[in-house]
């Protein structure tokens, strides 16, 4: 290959790299790769949690993940203690504030981008069909505008509840209602109109997606 052809080949390869058509040797820096592994020790491989009290995070939007990781890092959310579910630290007590506290904004975004590219794997769980039917009506009345198509769309940047673990959804609603988790004014107004029975039905509806 002459110099001109070598230069052309290099230029073409460089363009492909910039466009993301050719994978780099590693999609994540070593430090971020380690952090993703730490996330996976609770949230499961590729964010597909098999623990009913730990949310499935694979497939969520970048902005939703960024906002929530930063909320933990900046202690804007309650950080109850939990334990690592797998990996070298299995059984050790930790919490999300400890895990996120050293992350820079660029780290947070890299982690969010990684999990956003994974598949949202819906939880296989039992649910109450009658309550789920009522919950569908509650969703359409109060939630559909922001959590569209039955809360199945990552593009809403509002979190996908359809197929999320029911115990986790109960916990999340409790955090919103008790003020342990930041909540948009419009969402708070909607929750204030719901009865406890409405909320029970709502989580059954979301949990009915398989």
> pTM, whole model, 2 decimals?
0.85
Residue entry with tokens 């029970």: 200
How far apart, in whole angstroms, are the C-alpha atoms of residue 51 and residue 45?
A: 12
Q: What is the pLDDT of residue 177?
A: 96
Those residues with Cβ within 8 angstroms of residue 79's Cβ, 6 or more apart along the chain or in another chain: 72, 95, 96, 97, 98
51-72 mean pLDDT: 98
**Percentage, residues of the chain above pLDDT 70:** 86
Distance in angstroms (rounded) separating the CA atoms of residues 191 and 95? 27
- The pLDDT value recorded for residue 31 is 73
- The answer to whether the CB of 161 falls within 8 A of the CB of 147 is yes
Query: What is the C-alpha separation between 48 and 78, in angstroms, rounded?
Result: 23
Do residues 32 and 24 touch, judged by C-beta distance below 8 A? no
**Is it the case that residue 64 has pLDDT exceeding 90?**
yes
Query: What's the alpha-carbon Rg for the chain, to the nearest Å?
Result: 20
Question: In which band, very low, low, confident or very high, does the pLDDT at 156 lie, cut at 50, 70 and 90?
Answer: very high
For 94, the 3-state DSSP assignment is strand
| Tokens representing residue 64 in the block | 């939703």
In the predicted model, is pLDDT for residue 30 greater than 70?
no
- The 10s digit of each residue's pLDDT in 70-122 is 999 999 999 999 999 999 999 999 999 999 999 999 999 999 999 999 999 99
What residues have CB less than 8 Å from 6, skipping those under 6 apart? none
- All domains in the chain, ordered by first residue: 30-116 (1.10.760.10), 129-207 (1.10.760.10)
Alpha helices in 78-195 (DSSP H): 96-100, 105-116, 129-142, 148-151, 166-178, 185-193
Q: What secondary structure letter does DSSP report for 24?
A: -
What pLDDT was estimated at residue 28?
Answer: 60
| 3-state DSSP assignment of residue 99 | helix
Q: Of the candidates 55, 48, 47, 50, which has an alpha carbon nearest to the alpha carbon of residue 171? A: 55
- Residue 100 CA: distances (Å) to CA of 28, 38, 66, 146, 181: 17, 11, 11, 27, 16
Tokens linked to 18: 């910039």
């Amino acid at each position: 290959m002459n110099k001109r052809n070598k230069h052309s080949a290099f230029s073409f390869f460089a363009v492909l790299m910039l466009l993301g058509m050719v994978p780099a040797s590693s999609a994540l820096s070593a430090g971020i790769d380690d952090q993703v592994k730490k996330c996976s020790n609770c949230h499961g491989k590729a964010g597909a949690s098999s623990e009913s009290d730990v949310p499935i995070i694979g497939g969520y939007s970048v902005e939703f993940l960024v906002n929530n990781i930063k909320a933990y890092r900046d202690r804007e959310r309650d950080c109850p203690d939990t334990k690592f579910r797998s990996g070298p630290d299995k059984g050790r007590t930790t919490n999300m504030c400890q895990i996120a506290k050293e992350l820079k904004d660029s780290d947070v975004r890299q982690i969010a981008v990684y999990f956003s590219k994974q598949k949202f794997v819906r939880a296989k769980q039992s649910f109450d069909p009658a309550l789920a039917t009522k919950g569908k009506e509650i969703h359409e009345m109060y939630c559909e505008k922001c959590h569209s198509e039955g809360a199945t769309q990552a593009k809403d940047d509002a979190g996908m509840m359809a197929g999320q673990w029911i115990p986790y959804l109960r916990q999340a609603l409790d955090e919103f209602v008790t003020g342990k988790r930041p909540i948009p004014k419009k969402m708070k107004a909607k929750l204030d109109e719901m009865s406890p029975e409405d909320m029970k039905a709502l989580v059954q509806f979301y949990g009915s997606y398989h």
